[in-house]
A = this chain, B = another copy of it.
Amino acid sequence: MQGNFQVRTDLALETRESFAKDHVEIRGVRIEEAADEEHELYTTTVVIETENGARAMGKPVGNYITLEAPNLSSENEEEQRRVSEMLAGYVRKLLGERDAVLVVGLGNREVTPDALGPQVVNQLQITRHMVREYGKSYSGKMNRIVSAVVPGVMAQTGMETLEMVRGIVRETKPEAVIAIDALAARSTRRLNRTIQITDTGINPGSGVGNHREGIREDLLGIPVIAIGVPTVVDAATIVNDAMEQVAEAREYQQSLRERIAMQLSTMFVTPKDIDETIRRVSFTLAEALNIAFSDAPISDIK
């Protein structure tokens, strides 16, 4: 990435790749990789350890786990289940002993690629009201106290999502928030097959809907785990990427790119079957959370 044109990505993995391409090592950023070739599951953990690393990456200090899983939107029940269980393992690990969880489904349920969060919340097993009514032993199956909310987007509510979530957190006192969001990626190859899980919460400017304010531990007083799946690529990005492959005078290209970026600024790229895909991905994520919140045994996460 050169010059002023900024290719946008919400994936720490992609930000890091753009450095790697230029053979730049970033101090304060550590990478771990693991692969389960048989089941096509690839995990990359980007740990931003210092403020220096955070500046370089343009993302806060913390852990960014990226799960690449072509089967995220699989129709095959077994394959889909394997992804759910793997994700459930990471969620459990990050939740630790925290019992009461508020799941926040970010995004706009009426804009297909932004409807991931609302659709995940629709499929969760909610327990908080049952636990309050019948005590924690009402069911052997659910271990956590789960509540959920779909706050909607600012054009629909007139309120910052942060305001709504903070009010609800203060009133209902969960111990952790899990925020689900649709993300923008840089590469179409990643759409609907990558999950990013991070303990740094939601950052301003991220997401398909471009959140204006963050949803983070320092703003809410409790940890925020963010789970995101890229569902769109900014249209300007794919043009930019193609042009980078053409070796040409830099100056000319830069102004051309900016012109194109402006023309395409309200456009995004999605797969042709996005409506169906969002349904499937949201099911896999909801299952992952339902498993994470239950006492179902799952294979260990290394």
Contact = CB atoms under 8 A, between A and B. Distances in A.
A260 B246 CA distance: 12
Contacts of A121: 156
A275 B110 contact: yes
Given A110-B276, A246-B246, A267-B188, A159 B167 contact: no
A126 interface: yes
B147 A157 contact: yes
A121 B155 CA distance: 12
Given A112-B112, A168-B163, A242-B260, A266 B275 contact: no
Interface stretch (A79-87, A169-177, A197-205): A169-177
A73 interface: no
20 contacts: A111-B276, A112-B274, A121-B156, A126-B158, A129-B158, A129-B159, A145-B158, A149-B151, A149-B152, A149-B164, A159-B168, A159-B172, A164-B167, A166-B167, A167-B168, A167-B170, A170-B171, A246-B253, A266-B271, A267-B271
Contacts of A44: none
Nearest to A122: B156
A130 B155 CA distance: 9
A260 B237 CA distance: 13
A168 B168 contact: yes
Contacts of A158: 126-130, 145-148
A222 interface: no
Contacts of A159: 128-129, 147, 149, 168, 172
B167 A169 contact: yes
A151 B172 CA distance: 14
Q: What 6 A-B pairs have minimum CB-CB distances, sorted nearest first?
A: A128-B158, A167-B167, A167-B171, A147-B158, A126-B158, A239-B242
Contacts of A274: 111-112
Contact of A269 (B152, B155, B157, B267): B267
A51 to B, nearest CB: 30
A128 B159 CA distance: 7
A97 to B, nearest CB: 20
Given A148-B156, A158-B148, A269 B269 contact: yes
A268 B270 CA distance: 6
Nearest to A111: B275
